[in-house]
Chains A and B, each alone.
Chain A
Amino acid sequence: MKTYMLMLAGLFVFLSSVAGQETDSLQANRFVMRSTLLGVGRTQIVDTYLSPVEYTGIEGRFLHERMRMTRMLGGNVSTQSLLQANLAYAENDSKTGNEFAGMVNWSYGLHYHFRINDRLRILAGGLGDLNLGFIYNTRNSNNPAQAKAYINLTASAMAIYDFRIKKQPFTVRYQVNAPFLGVMFSPEYQQSYYEIFTLGNSHGVVNFTSVHNQPSLRQLLTLDIPLRRTTFRVGYVGDFQQSKVNNIRCHTYSHVFMVGFVKNFYLIKGKEKLQAKSPF
């Protein structure tokens, strides 16, 4: 386990150092895209530590994204910072129990841009992915809540397509992220948080994860609609988090429709200048 932790730490340091190599330069591409979206959707939650029954309900989500070109590999690499926070309320089918759930997810990483043609770009890369959250079941006794804490290395792919309708430019984008290596906190099968935190028995609560026990997926589909100087963005987030760790099965499936704004910039010595043609 120590080796895996060191490997993960090393990879994150590498990602950070690579990202940090970009320097402000007039020669460098300094395209920046920022977007902020809010959304509402539907969620399905099961965590067998709390209940074997699926809870369904409503979810609110905030998403903030920042992408920026770098000078790496001939200016074909961009960084992405993606922050999501969601809160959900869900009930069981019989309406006798309810759960609250929340999650903050921050991912940061690099994508290489494959420019297929003038309109289509394919991006591929990897992200470091940090997740903190909870599920709270309002009627349980000594297992009222489950803490969610996991960190992943995530494979990421993206397709960006520009098109026009009646000379009006639009951009459609699809991104999919899937973790392939990580570390996750989880109590053992019937271990109480009292035993972990009050008595101090933390044996088995830090677990190595990969696709075999955490086959998860986050996908984001957006459409950018320019309107005068503003670009609106509408989108869909499909967030499918799953794990089977310490014999505890968990899934949270969220389908959320998002709306918000996008800003594209070209940075020159600290000044931000709107650029007509963004690589994002």
Chain B
Amino acid sequence: MKKSLYTLLIYVLTFSFTGCIDVEEYNDDPQGNFEALWHIIDEQYCFLDYKAEEYGLDWDEVYDRYSKDIVSNMTDKDLFNVFDRMLAELRDGHVNLYTGFDVARYWDWYEDYPQNFSDSIQRIYLGKDYHIASGMKYKVLDDNVGYVYYESFSDAVGEGNLSDMLQELSICKGLIIDVRNNSGGQLTNASKIASRFTNEKILTGYICHKTGPGHSDFSEPYPVYLEPSNHLRWQKPVCVLTNRSAYSATNDFVNTMNQLDNVTIVGDKTGGGSGLPFSSELPNGWSIRFSASPMFDPQMNQLEFGIEPDVKVDMSSEDMDQGKDTIIERARQILSEKALH
């Protein structure tokens, strides 16, 4: 018995102290923060391989180029500017660096394109007598087309809100769901709304996640399905309106709706943003957000750089001068044509 006691004590004392699990620590100085940031992206960012293929991104080359700009006595703002430029190499709206004095961002995915949305013109369509259900503004347009504007997927949507809204619009011959300028929010809201437009379970895409720090360390693609809602479901034609500012969860919503037979995507290409963002931080306390988990369409196509519409329409300056939204007008035309068939 004493022998087993000694064995146990030796086990406890030996094994318990042998493995100290620590993380690699970087100094809180410009070089240390640079190393930390570069390694976070190198090990955790999910689009390095894809973007290497797409536009030749070489993250090792990025290190070589930007490390030359790091000097020990640089100010926080100078350091931030280097980090801002380095992160812009990723061309990703989900990549942000948050400091007390500024936020690094990449917004070229919509700033370099036509806006294709005007809230002053939209106000003409909504008038003053529109309804609001949670975050959704809706009304019946004068040609008996239902119009819903959903500005943010962060606005919580309840099943009751959706049922009440669809009930109110049930007299309409078709429905416009306008998600232009909707920069995303909760994925669960996107699937909750989309579930009102299908009568059967359908495959809408796949999701992966990184399983390790290597650029190619990914899990097997996991199928994502849309289940039909148990509540009131829409059976008539639908147009989803998009522009370059439809991003992130909105991009996911558009992909989901794009898989449905009675749905037409109208407007401009979406902004993309198909990587579920995670957060991390640098030794100096700056917070970094980055894409961690890529999502795909049912054919395993990347959606990071957006989804092409079924009907490409830009807002024309002639229409805008007349207070008309070209994209809404095109959608009304499509719904009217479909109603006739």
**Interface residues, chain A, with chain B CB atoms under 8 Å away:** 46, 48, 50-54, 92-97, 112, 114, 122, 124, 137, 139-143, 155, 157, 176, 178, 180, 188-192, 194-195, 198-199, 201, 203-204, 211-212, 215-217, 240, 242-244, 246-247, 249-251
Contacts and interface: CB of A to CB of B under 8 A. Distances in A.
Nearest to A194: B187
B21 A203 contact: no
Contact of A155 (B2, B12, B28, B284): B12
B279 A211 contact: no
Interface stretch (B208-216, B262-270, B326-334): B208-216
Contacts of B278: 140-143, 190, 192
B23 A199 contact: no
A203 B16 CA distance: 29
Nearest to A139: B287
Interface residues of B, number: 53
Closest A-B pairs by Cβ, 3 of them: A94-B285, A96-B285, A215-B19
A96 B9 contact: no
Interface centre among B12, B36, B212, B217 (most CB of A within 10 A): B12
Contacts of B212: 189, 247
13 contacts: A92-B285, A94-B28, A114-B5, A124-B8, A137-B279, A139-B279, A141-B289, A178-B11, A190-B210, A194-B187, A203-B222, A215-B15, A244-B21
B23 A249 contact: yes
Contacts of A50: 279
B210 A94 contact: no
B277 interface: yes
A38 to B, nearest CB: 26
A182 B257 CA distance: 44
A246 B18 contact: no
B276 A93 contact: no
Contact of A189 (B21, B25, B209, B283): B209
A137 to B, nearest CB: 8
B207 A199 contact: yes
A250 B21 CA distance: 7
Contacts of A140: 278-279
Given A124-B4, A247-B211, A190 B44 contact: yes
Given A52-B40, A53-B281, A96-B100, 17 more contacts: A50-B279, A51-B280, A54-B25, A94-B284, A95-B285, A96-B281, A142-B276, A142-B292, A188-B211, A189-B211, A190-B44, A198-B188, A203-B220, A211-B15, A242-B20, A247-B212, A247-B213
B293 A215 contact: no
A141 B209 contact: no
B29 to A, nearest CB: 13
B82 interface: no
B279 A48 contact: no
B81 to A, nearest CB: 19
Contacts of A201: 207, 219, 222
Nearest to B99: A96
A192 B276 contact: yes
Contacts of A53: 281-283, 285
A129 B97 CA distance: 41
Contacts of A112: 1, 5
A143 B279 contact: yes
A97 B285 contact: yes
B183 to A, nearest CB: 14
Contacts of B46: 190
A188 B293 CA distance: 11
Contact of B28 (A54, A93, A139, A240): A93
Contacts of B213: 189, 247
Contacts of B9: 124, 157
Nearest to B282: A53
A50 B287 CA distance: 11
Contacts of B12: 155, 157, 176, 178, 217
A160 to B, nearest CB: 14
Given A178-B11, A201-B222, A247-B212, A192 B292 contact: yes
A128 B285 CA distance: 39
B53 interface: no
Given A194-B187, A195-B209, A93 B285 contact: yes
B224 interface: yes
Contacts of B210: 188-190
Interface in B214-231: 217, 219-220, 222, 224
Contacts of A192: 209, 276, 278, 292-293
Given A112-B1, A141-B289, A188-B211, A155 B8 contact: yes
Contact of A48 (B23, B28, B286): B23
B277 A141 contact: yes
B191 to A, nearest CB: 8
A190 B209 contact: yes
